[in-house]
């Protein structure tokens, strides 16, 4: 850690796709800052809001009654302007105008890539809090929003199972996750799916059809969970390819989409958001910067942005293995 004066005024923003639990993290940041007699400002609309000067001071009561709400009270965006040197220079000018001397970014890998460049160019201490439903950040066991999104997906698949088994149907259910199969894997185990298709372990249609032939004989319904980033091109495409080869399947497709991003955060997400929100402020106070705070094996961890951006989160091999056993 470098030696520099402790920050006196922290800016906080949410960036990228919103995730349930972001509000709980904002609340934790604001209250921990005020607890330590720091000023804290909310930046509205992510990095775009920093460029457009959408900034407002926050106090402890401004974050009352939000811990249970999905979405983000600070709104979010993906900013093209912040990817440019000019955009980041304007963003720094906004920080100076308000006297903000440190930043907390709640978001995913794209948001942290931007934060890392901003920190390197302008020397602003930045700490990241992992807020994304995708659970695609290495070093932390979970990201804020993943637990809620996976529960939402699981409940949807439970409902689909009711109708699938009433009609002896084969369902392809597409879940989110961008290039990461974590939602598909966890939801697949929790909802008892027969098969999952994930980008980290490309299986191809042949392997899927062999698996379907084996399970079809003994089951009244079959559910295949397809991660949106799977190399076959999503649930509609997988269904089309299967149907082209085996016309006798009565197939249906359900794309769960943005319903997975909404809703009240789960206990796990609220607790993770509270822990990492407090830790982010305390880390800035003790001189930390250019790191993401996460939790691994029950302990807080601080992962440098540079090592985050070099790797991707590996899918849990043991969970993949047990899914294969349990879906026979």
Q: Which residues bind ligand F6P (CB under 6 A)?
A: 17, 108, 132-134, 176-178, 228, 261
Closest approach, Cβ 18 to ligand F6P, in A, equals 8
Does residue 30 sit in helix, strand or coil?
helix
| Shortest distance, position 61 Cβ to ligand F6P, whole Å | 30
Q: How many other C-beta atoms are found inside a 10 Å radius of the C-beta of residue 208?
A: 21
- Which one of the listed residues 134, 136, 147, 230 is annotated catalytic? 134
CB of 176 to ligand F6P, least distance (A): 3
Give whichever of 263 and 287 is closer to ligand F6P, judged by the CB atom. Answer: 263
- Residue (105 or 176) nearer to ligand F6P, CB: 176
Of 101 and 230, which CB lies nearer to ligand F6P in the complex structure?
230
**Which is nearer to ligand F6P, 101 or 228 (by Cβ)?**
228
User: How far are the Cα atoms of 62, 118, 318 from residue 294, in angstroms, in the given order?
Assistant: 25, 21, 22
Rg of the chain (C-alpha set): 22
How many angstroms separate the CA atoms of 122 and 137, rounded? 25
Known catalytic membership, residue 134: yes
How far apart are alpha carbons 271 and 269 in whole angstroms?
A: 5
Smallest gap from residue 16 Cβ to ligand F6P (A): 6
Nearest to 8 by CA among 28, 37, 29: 37
Of the candidates 114, 80, 104, 98, the residue with the CA atom closest to the CA atom of residue 22:
104
Residue positions annotated with a catalytic role: 134
């Amino acid at each position: 850690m470098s030696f520099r004066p402790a920050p006196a005024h922290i800016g906080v923003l949410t960036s990228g796709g919103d995730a349930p639990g972001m509000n709980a993290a904002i609340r934790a940041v604001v209250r921990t800052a005020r607890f330590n007699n720091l000023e804290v400002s909310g930046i509205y609309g992510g990095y775009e809001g920093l460029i457009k000067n959408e900034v407002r001071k926050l106090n402890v009561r401004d974050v009352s009654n939000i811990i249970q709400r999905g979405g983000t009270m600070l709104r979010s965006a993906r900013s093209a302007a912040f990817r440019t040197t000019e955009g980041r220079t304007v963003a720094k000018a906004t920080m100076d105008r308000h006297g903000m001397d440190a930043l907390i970014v709640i978001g995913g890998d794209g948001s942290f890539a931007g934060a890392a460049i901003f920190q390197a160019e302008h020397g602003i201490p930045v700490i990241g809090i992992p807020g994304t439903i995708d659970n695609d950040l290495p070093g932390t066991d979970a990201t804020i929003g993943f637990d809620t999104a996976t529960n939402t997906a699981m409940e949807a698949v439970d409902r689909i199972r009711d109708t699938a088994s009433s009609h002896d149907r084969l369902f392809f259910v597409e879940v989110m996750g961008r290039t990461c199969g974590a939602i598909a894997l966890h939801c697949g185990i929790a909802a008892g799916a027969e098969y999952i298709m994930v980008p980290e372990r490309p299986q191809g249609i042949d392997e899927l059809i062999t698996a379907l032939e084996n399970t079809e004989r003994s089951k009244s319904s079959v559910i295949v969970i397809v991660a949106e980033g799977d190399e076959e091109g999503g649930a509609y495409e997988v269904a089309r390819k299967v149907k082209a080869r085996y016309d006798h399947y009565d197939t249906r497709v359900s794309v769960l989409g943005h319903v997975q991003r909404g809703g009240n955060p789960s206990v796990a997400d609220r607790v993770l958001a509270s822990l990492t929100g407090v830790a982010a402020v305390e880390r800035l106070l003790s001189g930390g910067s250019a790191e993401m705070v996460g939790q691994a094996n029950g302990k807080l961890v601080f992962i440098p942005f540079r090592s985050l951006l070099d790797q991707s989160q590996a899918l849990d091999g043991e969970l993949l293995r047990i899914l294969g056993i349990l879906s026979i």
